[in-house]
Structure 1
Amino acid sequence: MQKNRRMLAFGLGISVIFGGCSLGNDNTKSTETETAVSSGEEQKISINTKNFVRVQDYNGEGYALRNGEKTDKIAEDNREEIEVAVKKFFSEKFKTDVIVHNLVGAVNGVSVFVESVGEPHFHAIAIVPIDVKSKTVKTDGVWSQEGQVENALSGGLYAMAYEEEMNNLDNFVNQVITNYPVIGKNIEAVNNTASGHSTPHYYISIFDDVFDELNNLYLKNQNVSKEELRNTLDESKFNPDGVNVTLNFFMKEANTEPNEEAYDEIYNKIKTTDGLPRGSYALILNDNTINSKYGTNTNDNTINKNPLNQIMKE
């Protein structure tokens, strides 16, 4: 299962359900061609770098998946019944109430971006099939990519179990954005494009099998205590590389290259700061732009020096 979790996280990094992709870009050209791997095949994808906007201006508007133009309109015309069906899906399968934030048309369906209400807190995606020919929304066929919602739920339960340490992490992030010329995404962008336990400044990926046990505890009892969740994790003594916390910052000023000195200082502060949640840590520093169509920035100038799992917190 741990291998499957890692493959899921990797897969979500290179493709989004129904063919949406997270791709690298180069601002020196107005249009480029990238090679993405999807369903075991290489596909050439044209990227219009005119889609790049300042991260402060991005709220998720314009986020799109390939070949979703037709289903996008059908979904909006049937938004109310889609929301009802998706809320029912999460309530019945994951015992969680959700808020529907965004509908994004895709091939033969619509990806629905939701946020859980209260704790455990997470973002997730459900898919509602659409018959384009008949313009019919199949609300009785709602589904989710295998392991995607489960991983997001695990992240929310992890945050509950490590409540004090998560507060320390949030305080650390606030110190960083106060002392350095960096910022995160707008919360609207997170709500409209994110999956997992995500905030404007970091996101959490879960790999360890012990979190299947945490999920089962919650699915059996939605009032499971934070103490029981924490005890389960403490008793498991899970390896820190079973959880990855990625801090993802952007330069605050427009037309500014990622600052390597700031990156190095923040990186060292992560290494020396005590009281952070158990796990492995990665740091990414982007320029001030984000691709509005894909909700990411992976330009060539992005700084990401440390390989996955280099910073470990026991």
Structure 2
Amino acid sequence: MRVKTIFMLACILLLGGCMEKEESPQISPNTQYERVQDYKGEGYFLKQGSENDEIAEANREKIEKEVKEFFRKEYKTKVKVHNLVGNEEGATVFVESIGQLHFYTYAVIPFNGKKVSTGQVFSQEGQVESGITDGLYKIIFAEEFDHLDAYLDKIATEEEVTGRTVESLGNVGGEGYMTPYYFIGSSPINDEAILPVYELYMRNQNPTSEELREAFNEEEFTPDNLRISIMLFMKEEEAVPSEEIFNRITGDLETMAGIPKGTYSVYINDNLVHKESSDGVKDNSLERAYPDGIVRD
């Protein structure tokens, strides 16, 4: 679970290889990082993807059409395309759902030489399904997530911390339900509580919130089914992660009422994001995560 809870830290397996970062180009250490307030995904790249970046952009209209059709057909979901990133065999396409259910994810379209393959779009096993259940949990626990959102907005106002840009979530996020301050980890595969809700959505893409809540099997829910990773950054570029803020947040999450049930991880990072990987977690980051997460049941 540690790999899942660190935002875009680990490689994401794709195309028989993975969404690994290729060997870094010759970039000055001072330019590899960017202030989190400025980072929108520029500089992000995948293994041996530079050449396919150009092919992807030259075929953007066709790729967008293929990817949108894939999500409509396979997941009954409309999406908008945010970003195309070349990978070793084609392009990884970052998308955002449109409609009541909100999540970010990605799909892959392979190339045949310099041509875009038709009808060959695919997704990593379980990736889109997890994004859908993330969005479903957000609807089912809407009041509780609103309470968590209000708390984190207050923290960002009162303390010297901030979150990611919305643009970076769309361009290089792809991790299900996400806000600038946190993201959710869930899956219908091993979660008997959310599985009936997922099946309902796949039959009917316009259920009411009440219908979704009625389908939720609360008796089967455990805190490990819903993992909420809070990822914050210091506002000032030279600031080190604050233990005082970290202790305040972890203490509040242990005791405050009205937030979603689940297992929480908390990360406080310095101000910088690694542009090539979009990762903000570093050796100086403060973290409380698996197996010592905050369990709320």
Residue of structure 2 equivalent to 1:172: 151
Q: Give the stretch that moved more between structures: 211-220 or 59-68.
A: 211-220
1:199 matched to 2:166 = no
Residue of structure 2 equivalent to 1:98: 79
1:209 matched to 2:191 = yes
2:203 to 210, 213, 220: 220
Distance 1:88 1:68 in 2: 24
SS in structure 2 at match of 1:59:
coil
Any idea what the Cα deviations from partners look like across 1:157-193, whole Å, max 9, x if unmatched? 1101111111111101111101110000000001101
Query: 1:20·1:66 contact (CA, 8 Å) conserved in 2?
Result: yes
Q: Which residue identity is paired with 1:202?
A: Y
1:109 shift after superposition = 1.0
Distance 2:246 2:3 in 1: 28
1:80 to 46, 61, 78: 61
Pair 1:7–1:251, CA change in 2 (3 A): closer
2:136 to 150, 154, 157: 157
1:290 to 260, 267, 273: 273
CA RMSD, 1 decimal: 2.1
Distance 1:61 1:185 in 2: 14
Taking the TM superposition and a 5 Å limit, the aligned residue runs for 1:174-193 are: 174-193=153-172
Query: 1:98·1:115 contact (CA, 8 Å) conserved in 2?
Result: yes
Distance 2:5 2:269 in 1: 20
Distance 1:124 1:271 in 2: 30
Q: Which residue identity is paired with 2:89?
A: N
Residue of structure 1 equivalent to 2:46: 65
Identity %: 37
Query: 2:241·2:285 contact (CA, 8 Å) conserved in 1?
Result: yes
Distance 1:295 1:7 in 2: 17
Pair 1:8–1:138, CA change in 2 (3 A): farther
Any idea what the Cα deviations from partners look like across 1:118-147, whole Å, max 9, x if unmatched? 221000111000123xx1101310100110
Runs of 4+ that moved beyond 4 A: 10-13, 44-48
Any idea what the Cα deviations from partners look like across 1:3-38, whole Å, max 9, x if unmatched? xxx69948975203443348xxxxxxxxxxxxxxxx
Any idea what the Cα deviations from partners look like across 1:235-279, whole Å, max 9, x if unmatched? 433101111000000000011110111111111111121111121
Distance 1:56 1:285 in 2: 15
Q: Which residue identity is paired with 1:156?
A: G
Paired residue total = 286
Provide the TM-score with structure 2 as the length reference: 0.90
Pair 1:7–1:86, CA change in 2 (3 A): farther
Query: 1:240·1:280 contact (CA, 8 Å) conserved in 2?
Result: yes
SS in structure 2 at match of 1:198:
coil
Q: Which residue identity is paired with 2:101?
A: P
2:229 to 243, 246, 250: 246
Query: 1:281·1:309 contact (CA, 8 Å) conserved in 2?
Result: no
Pair 1:213–1:190, CA change in 2 (3 A): same
Query: 2:96·2:105 contact (CA, 8 Å) conserved in 1?
Result: yes
1:14 matched to 2:13 = no
Query: 1:240·1:279 contact (CA, 8 Å) conserved in 2?
Result: yes
Query: 2:240·2:270 contact (CA, 8 Å) conserved in 1?
Result: yes
Query: 2:9·2:277 contact (CA, 8 Å) conserved in 1?
Result: no
1:300 matched to 2:283 = yes
